[in-house]
A and B are shown apart, each in its own frame.
Chain A
């Protein structure tokens, strides 16, 4: 009680409270705008789910129904048999996991050579690596396609996995930046103890770089799960299709089966969204890292 009365009496405290309330009120427009924007951004997701649970009759009614009545769950099993969905999913998973593992293994190794060993010409070669990030893909696409054709990689999933064995400039760059922040003294101490560079890489740098490796794994997962252009160019045989290109074929053939299409799209998006919620912090940190330190 005493504190309450004293606070109401104290002029500075009450002024602070008024200011706080004013501040809260001043934020009201911000809340309104954010909420409106958030609704706008969420509507496509809601519409995706809603359509995926409707029969054709429900889909084409006006005014549109937000909540399907009744829920048509059949769209999901039907969309997975309408196209060889699980085969596409298997191909996609194979390509994606291969790329994730190869990217983490190769890029973490290459980045070590750029960050932890001082060799003559290193900075120039690193500059070359960075400048390859600026090359638009159409420049290298056609000769790459021809090389892959000559090597018999076209129309096999290898066309989408083999490149990962050579690392990716962007991930190497990210990891190199992270390695640079690890004190050199750690390496020197290990060297005095007789460790080789490979042992230092394996026993000291890799364990310390886990957060950055997680970011690379995450980015590689998303990039390959979502990749459309690669499969479009390299795969012709339906048995090899990934989800992206398989869904495109489905979309091309049956443009009016919206319920099935949206169910299939939902099934393709779901793993990505799930991954996001499981790894939210790594995600946000990774995005921030690329944008601010880049």
Chain B
């Protein structure tokens, strides 16, 4: 019966068959917890934050409309904003490719059917589930300028010590290093992707006399591009929200000399230390726009370099 009504001339617009309406009600019933949460905790906040971004709002008195004032102020009068943008881009541009390269490298090594693979995999994976706060404390200790292990090792090798977290030139690389320690989740994903690559591809390449480099370049890497793409998107969204390690290690100061004042840290400070909610909301929307544009560009470019099995770009 359903089949007949589906193939017959469809009533235009909002007329629904009885079973459709029944399913709609059931479907909405099942998704209702999420739907309510979406309306209250996502949709309304998005609208509210867009409005707040056009106001001066200190939480105590009601918001005062200032038009694009917050945006103009951020872009033209606030050097700290540009420093935070610079810090965040620095972090993103180095940390994301670095993590992906290390993850692919380690996954390729593990994929050589080495003995004790699960032991190695565990060692690389464990840091990624360590709570940020614990990791930050541990690394603050390891990178301690006077008594830390890192400088002790440098001293033992007769090398000059480094002000890891106290020298503005080293603070960001140090945080990137801490972050690289916790990249293990990607290794697991890349390793699984490597094991998914059909063996016949390599066998065919072998017959054609392809060497290891050619096989990696023309089979392995293209087959990994979907995972690289996934990691890039996640990496970008994550980099712009990068907060906890920098906050904990610097005690919220973003020092030394503002060198670890990342975008989200500055936003947090404006919102919850200075209670400039309107100003912070404007920052949030600039962030949203930036992430949106970058994700969009990545998706647009993906047709050219991401390989999807069993079909064209999708």
Contacts and interface: CB of A to CB of B under 8 A. Distances in A.
Contacts of B267: 138
Interface residues of B, number: 92
B131 interface: yes
Interface of B is mostly: helix
A144 B24 CA distance: 30
A226 B132 contact: yes
B134 A139 contact: no
Given A42-B123, A136-B240, A292-B227, A110 B112 contact: no
B149 A64 contact: yes
A139 B114 contact: no
Among A62, A128, A291, the one with the most B-chain Cβ atoms within 10 Å of its Cβ is: A291
Given A47-B138, A119-B27, A136 B291 contact: yes
B188 A287 contact: yes
Given A27-B112, A128-B38, A141 B127 contact: no
A214 interface: no
Given A122-B27, A140-B46, A261-B141, A280 B122 contact: yes
Contacts of B36: 166
A119 B188 contact: no
A73 interface: no
Interface string A254-291: 01001001100100110011001000100010011011
Contacts of A292: 189, 192-193, 196, 226-227
A16 interface: no
Nearest to B244: A228
Interface string A164-182: 0111010010000000000
B303 interface: no
Interface stretch (B90-98, B202-210, B281-289): B281-289
B87 to A, nearest CB: 16
Nearest to A128: B38
A51 interface: yes
A120 to B, nearest CB: 6
A139 B45 contact: yes
Q: Which residue among A121, A143, A284 has the maximum number of chain B CB atoms within 10 Å of its CB?
A: A143
Given A33-B109, A62-B155, A291-B186, 17 more contacts: A34-B106, A34-B120, A37-B124, A47-B142, A106-B34, A113-B27, A134-B291, A142-B48, A143-B48, A143-B52, A166-B33, A248-B248, A265-B134, A268-B134, A273-B126, A287-B188, A291-B230
Interface of B: 16, 20, 23-24, 26-31, 33-38, 40-42, 44-46, 48-49, 52, 59, 106, 109-110, 112, 114, 120-127, 129-134, 137-142, 147, 149, 152, 155-156, 181, 185-186, 188-189, 192-193, 196, 226-227, 230-231, 237, 240-241, 243-244, 247-248, 251, 264, 267-268, 271-272, 277, 280-281, 283-285, 287-288, 291-292, 295
9 smallest beta-carbon distances between A and B, as pairs: A166-B37, A113-B30, A291-B189, A119-B27, A143-B45, A143-B48, A140-B45, A226-B131, A113-B31
18 contacts: A37-B124, A41-B123, A44-B142, A129-B38, A138-B283, A138-B284, A141-B284, A142-B280, A142-B281, A144-B41, A163-B41, A165-B33, A228-B133, A243-B131, A269-B130, A276-B125, A284-B121, A287-B189
